[in-house]
């Protein structure tokens, strides 16, 4: 399935809310990605995603509609050589290889744009799909922290996967 990455636009609001307002998506996100996901949440997110230059939070677009998001979040202070990767995709687009290909594009963007040496992602322990995507792309499991996440009244493990700049040529 073909897709593009582009900056979020106000015109994405309807599609954003349609795909983000899904418990199966929200259950593996921070509480900053609420469920239910409202138009107010969508407007606030688009404003947030559009404020920084260079843009580093992108819409995943299929057939002209924003159906997910992916972002690279440069860190500061002693973590300044690192950036966190975050992503989500509307459920109807799962298992089409979109997230895997979008991550490759974001890794190249991250290492070309920022003075970093590592990109990391923090999937929940029960998010097997995300773990498989990261492992397939060469991310290494660096930490497994038991019961570190509390979401929807339950504890879950936090996993930390890292990808080093020198591994980019393997993709």
Could you tell me the CATH number of the domain that includes residue 35? 3.40.630.30
> Domain range holding 62?
4-170
Q: Are strands 118-121 and 154-164 parallel, antiparallel or unpaired?
A: antiparallel
Q: What is the pLDDT of residue 159?
A: 98
pLDDT at residue 107, as a whole number: 98
For residue 37, name the pLDDT band (cuts at 50, 70, 90).
very high
Q: How many domains does the chain have?
A: 1
pTM of the model: 0.96
Residues of the chain above pLDDT 90, percent: 99
């Amino acid at each position: 399935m073909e897709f593009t990455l582009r900056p979020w636009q106000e015109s994405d609001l309807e599609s954003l809310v349609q795909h983000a307002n899904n418990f199966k998506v929200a259950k593996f996100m921070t509480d900053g990605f609420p469920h239910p996901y409202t138009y107010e949440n969508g407007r606030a997110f688009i404003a947030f995603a559009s404020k920084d230059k260079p843009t580093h939070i992108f819409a995943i677009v299929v057939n002209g509609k924003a159906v997910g998001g992916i972002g690279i979040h440069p860190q500061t202070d002693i973590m300044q050589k690192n950036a966190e990767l975050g992503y989500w995709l509307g459920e109807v687009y799962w298992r089409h290889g979109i997230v895997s290909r979008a991550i490759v594009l974001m890794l190249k963007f991250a290492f070309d744009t920022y003075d970093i040496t590592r990109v990391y992602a923090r999937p929940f322990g029960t998010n097997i799909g995300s773990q498989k995507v990261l492992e397939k792309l060469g991310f290494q499991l660096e930490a497994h922290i038991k019961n570190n996440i509390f979401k929807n009244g339950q504890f879950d493990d936090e996993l930390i996967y890292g990808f080093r700049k020198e591994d980019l040529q393997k993709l």
